[in-house]
Amino acid sequence: MAAPMLRAPGLLQPLRAPLRGSLGAARCPPSPAALPGPLPVLLAVAPGPVPVRAMAGHNRWSKVRNVKGPRDAERSRLCEKMARMLRAAAREGGPEPSLNPGLAAVVAQCRALNVPKATIEGALRSARERPAGGSRVLLSARGPAGALVLLDVRTDNVRRSQAELRTLLGRHGASLTDDVRHAFEAVGVVRVSGRTLAMEAALEVAALAGAQDVVAEEEEEEEEAELKFLCDPSALGGVHQHLVAAGLRPMAAGVEFRPRSALALPDGARAAAERLLRALAECPGVVRLFHNIQDGPAGAPGARSAPAAPPERQ
């Protein structure tokens, strides 16, 4: 026998009352005071939305984007440039470092810069598999306010690299040109740590080694001071050997292109030229660049011009 269903005649009346009103009133719930019995108490203690409390912490993505991202990008560009230098040295003298002193020097430079071993081995393997691929090109450009730039480019496609550089230079008010080679002279440079040798002793060693001059590289940090032995490019190998025989350990040796005269730029043109140099230094195909821009603003005492990249090791 089914249990009788209990009805409360006055319980549903307040619930049905809003349905007789307008559409807007039908959507409004009845007030708790209109409901009989213990329902108002139950509705008063019914749980509502729980407020969310802000959690303390740090933005890891901001650190990755602003710190780690640019650092990894710069590291990747460095490894790519060193791989190009390895392939170029292997094509010039063979892919075996034991038989190619130039390649052995570039390998040592890669290790000093903490280039991954896999990158070094991959570049050498590529040089063995494609011995005729790629080339080395020296391009020249004219920048803002007549600034002159020489670019040492390593590429597998000369036309493509020229097109990319032409586009990059155009964005910074510069262009490729062929009439600036006369403004630079080739000089052999052997770099030695300035902390291992005094200037007086360096001049004596330079005279015995056949170097033309010794220049102290001005650095802000004392530990990075260098002595540069300057010589004719054809005598670079002999000077390097004499310095090694004298007990010195050259950090780098190569041919640099030094400007015959420095160009002083005003502040506006200098800022544009610095942006151009930074963009060229970040270009993967450009392994070295030289310019005739004077260090410091126009008219500054003691201003000088210097290459924007270190020479190759040999």
- For the domain that residue 244 is a member of, what is the CATH number? 3.30.70.980
278 vs 286: CA distance, rounded Å: 11
DSSP 71: H
| Total tally of structural domains belonging to the chain | 2
Residue with tokens 């390895």: 86
Rounded to an integer, the average pLDDT of 169-179 is 90
Last residue within a domain, chosen from 104, 133, 162: 133
Residue 178 confidence (pLDDT): 84
Look up the CATH number of the domain holding residue 95.
Answer: 1.10.10.200
Of the listed ranges 85-99, 107-121, 236-250, the least confidently predicted one is: 85-99
The CA distances from residue 122 to 87, 118, 198, in Å, are: 10, 6, 41
Judged by DSSP in three states, 213 sits in strand
In DSSP terms, which residues pair with 136 in a beta bridge? 154
**105 belongs to a structural domain:** yes
**314 belongs to a structural domain:** yes
Residues 139 and 224 in one domain: yes
Of the listed ranges 21-35, 160-174, 225-239, the least confidently predicted one is: 21-35
Rounded to an integer, the average pLDDT of 193-199 is 76
Rounded to an integer, the average pLDDT of 295-309 is 47
Confidence of residue 25 (pLDDT cuts 50, 70, 90): very low
pTM > 0.85: no
Last residue within a domain, chosen from 133, 159, 185: 133
Residues 219 and 116 in one domain: no
Burial of 100 (0-12, 13-18, 19+ CB in 10 A): middle
Residues 92 and 190 in one domain: no
**231 belongs to a structural domain:** yes
Burial of 101 (0-12, 13-18, 19+ CB in 10 A): middle
Residue 300 confidence (pLDDT): 43
The pLDDT of residue 90 is above 50: yes
Residue 171 confidence (pLDDT): 93
Residues 138 and 124 in one domain: no
Residues 139 and 118 in one domain: no
The pLDDT of residue 204 is above 70: yes
The pLDDT of residue 42 is above 60: no
**295 belongs to a structural domain:** yes
Residues 156 and 266 in one domain: yes
The whole-chain average pLDDT of the chain stands at 75
Domain holding 166, by residue range, is 134-314
CA dihedral 74, 78, 84, 87 (to 10 degrees): -140
**43 belongs to a structural domain:** no
Residues 191 and 145 in one domain: yes
Query: Under a CB-based contact definition with an 8 Å cutoff, are residues 9 and 16 in contact?
Result: no
Judged by DSSP in three states, 132 sits in coil
Q: What is the pLDDT of residues 96-140, one digit of tens each?
A: 887 777 788 788 878 878 889 888 888 888 877 776 556 778 899
Of the listed ranges 171-180, 194-203, 236-245, the least confidently predicted one is: 194-203
Q: How many C-beta atoms lie closer than 10 Å to residue 34's C-beta? A: 13
Residues 162 and 205 in one domain: yes
Confidence of residue 87 (pLDDT cuts 50, 70, 90): confident
Residues 76 and 175 in one domain: no
**3 belongs to a structural domain:** no
Last residue within a domain, chosen from 107, 133, 159: 133
**229 belongs to a structural domain:** yes
**58 belongs to a structural domain:** no
Q: Which two structure tokens, joined as six digits, stand for 144?
A: 């803002």
